[in-house]
Amino acid sequence: MEKTNPAVLAFLQSVHPYDTLPPDELARVARSFCRMVVPAGEVIYAYGDTMAGLYLVKSGGVEITDAHGALVSLLGPRNSFGERGLLRDGFAATQARASEECVILRLPAPQFRVLIAAYPAYARFFNRKRGARPATDIALQRVADLIARAPLSCGPDLQVFDAARMMRDAAVSSLGVVDDAGQLLGLITVRDLTTKVLAEGRDAATPVGEVMTRDPVTLPPSALGSDILHVMLEHRIGHLPITDEGRLTGMITQTDLTRFQAVSSAVLIRDVAQAETVAQMAAVTAQIPQLLAQLVGGSHRHEITTRLITDIADAVTRRLLQMAEAQLGAAPVPYLWLACGSQGRQEQTGMSDQDNCLVIDDAATDGDMLYFKALAKIVSDGLDACGYFYCPGDMMATADRWCQRQSVWRGYFDRWISKPDTEAQMLASVMFDLRPIGGTARLYSDLQSEVLKRASGNSIFVAHMVSNALKHTPPLGLLRGFATIRSGEHRNHIDMKMNGLVPLADLGRIYALQGRLPQVNTRARLTAAEEGGVISVSGARDLIEAYDLIAETRLEAQAHLVRSGRKPDNYLAPSDLSDFERSHLRDAFVVVRTMQSALSQGKGVLG
């Protein structure tokens, strides 16, 4: 009888719905899984393959595409695929390809069907998953998530001449007409100006109230996208005001619906790759906040949303590198452009500065270094123009310090590890989040493994890194409250980045260091730390759940700002949350504080 693989069994215990199976059955199922190591780019599951089995991602990433090659979803650890073909529901026309090297567990089809038949909770999970519509299906979106911008309105006494100018200047095709209390009275569109004013020879000073459509059809923010489609088709209208108890809160147009269906990370990356100028790329990246709001509204997991948004930054960087080489000529020696910070961790949201560096082959001459200095400026300037603003701390390849030969970089890490002063701790924390973006990857892969091995073996360095990681604390106040910012523009708000996610990123980095884990993404680090025994299973589960809640809350707050016509930021007012949400958010911060405390006492991890 085949022995149970302890690593597979431990992994399944952390994956729903396997955690619902009886222990003996779970052990049997663990023996039934086949382990596959799949290289990046290799097809795992082909179109119409209905008997291959159920696939479960243990590590790495998988791209799911439809029969036309369009990206359907990106899967990570604990996600499964292939069940649709097994359940014969007509949705098997997809292909799964490894987006990076990954470990896949495959459960043979007969074993999957035994579990479906024997365990209702297991069957409910896959039947519910099978029946789910894509999150980007417009018919299932809430109206509030489809609103692209804050509504533009005017009073009924405004002259049509001024209304036309308002629409022109704001690049919109309609205005809500409201009274002094914000109650919707009517609607005026560009078409109304044409048919009711110009075509009838009315004076440009005519009040809007005389030509508006009175008491237009409206929908509440709680309605669904299907309601919009039905109303527009039934009433043959292209503009639909959204009201809450009579107050105008938004406007949905046919253009918004088209834009929602057209904006995706794949489309934006395609447009970036085809851009001929920096200005064209900037026009593409300007759509990122809308994409963020759309992804959050579509209930995508936070790690998928941030991954998709980061992919766009990666594409922009690579296109700028191509432009730089076209302008300067081919690089004289191999080089590698790397990102650190949120881009390095693949955790970008609707706002980000740039953090990057260049590693250059040791064969580079002093003259060659002038080439790379010029290349760095072209790329960094281009990133700034595309909304990835210059790093306030000058952590960019344009700084001589961060544009160096490989041997110099090796010397940097050697000094930081052997003499971990305050600056060394800070710089090492940043540079442990490096991720290759464009160029020759080998310039960093060997260096990374060397550094992890040496750093993890230096207990003094690790202790200093732990001390540095504990400087950012969760915003916990007394009596189950929050410690909010006390003054300034963001008074009574929580900084969801510095006090919410940075402490978790710091913990993930320490666990990666202790376990010599190559992962850079925070969630991937926490998962790998659990699988590698760096932290206990229970501690890892609590920490991952806390991370998920904090990250989701931050993204939802940013999406809300985008929908209200404001720029996304990292600040959240606890008063904007319900009692239930505040309670759970505070519990998540308590988990982070507890894990920090364990780390500071040297129990780190398995305690």
pLDDT in tens, 563-600: 888 889 999 999 888 888 888 899 999 999 999 988 88
**Can you tell me the mean pLDDT for 417-434?**
85
Tens-digit pLDDT profile for residues 488-498:
999 999 999 99
pLDDT, mean over the chain:
86
Q: What average pLDDT score do residues 388-408 get?
A: 94
Residue ranges and CATH numbers for the domains of the chain are: 6-132 (2.60.120.10), 140-256 (3.10.580.10), 263-416+435-449 (3.30.460.10), 470-600 (1.20.120)
| Residue 20: per-residue pLDDT | 78
Contacts of residue 479, Cβ cutoff 8 Å, sequence gap at least 6? none
Tell me the mean pLDDT in the region 419-427: 83
Compare 19 and 125 and report the one with higher pLDDT: 19
Sheet architecture: strand order including 435-439 = 403-405, 356-360, 335-339, 435-439
SS3 sequence, 8-31? HHHHHHCCCCHHHCCHHHHHHHHH
How far apart are the C-alpha atoms of 158 and 179, rounded to whole Å? 12
Q: What is the mean pLDDT of residues 133-159?
A: 75
Q: Residue 355 to residues 110, 343, 372, 415: CA-CA distances in angstroms?
A: 49, 8, 17, 21
Higher pLDDT, 332 or 431: 332
Q: Is the pLDDT of residue 124 over 60?
A: yes
Mean pLDDT of 520-537: 91
Contact 529, 508 (CB under 8 A): yes
Q: Is the pLDDT at 85 greater than 70, yes or no?
A: no
pLDDT band at 76; cut points 50, 70, 90? confident
Tokens 């759309």 -> residue: 294
**For residues 277 and 261, is the Cβ–Cβ distance under 8 A?**
no
pLDDT at 72: 58
| pLDDT for residue 138 | 65
pLDDT tens track for 265-319: 777 887 888 899 999 999 999 999 988 988 887 777 888 889 889 989 998 999 9
Decide if pLDDT at 46 tops 80: no
Q: Which two tokens stand for residue 22?
A: 């009886």
Is pTM beyond 0.75 here?
A: no
Report the DSSP beta bridge partners of residue 36: 104
C-beta neighbour count of 381 within 10 angstroms: 15
Could you give phi then psi for residue 3, rounded to 5 degrees?
Answer: -80, 150
478 confidence band (pLDDT: 50, 70, 90): low
Of 254-258, 410-414, 518-522, the one with minimum mean pLDDT is 254-258
Mean pLDDT of 553-566: 89
What is each CA distance from 243 to 44, 142, 230, in whole angstroms?
A: 48, 14, 17
Could you tell me the pLDDT band of residue 91, with boundaries at 50, 70 and 90? very low
Burial of 574 (0-12, 13-18, 19+ CB in 10 A): middle
Whole-angstrom distance between the N-terminal and C-terminal Cα of the chain? Answer: 35
- The DSSP output letter for 159 is B
Task: Tell me the torsion sign for CA atoms 334, 339, 345, 347.
Answer: negative
Q: Tokens 């080998």 appear where?
A: 442
- Written as one letter, the residue type at 405 is R
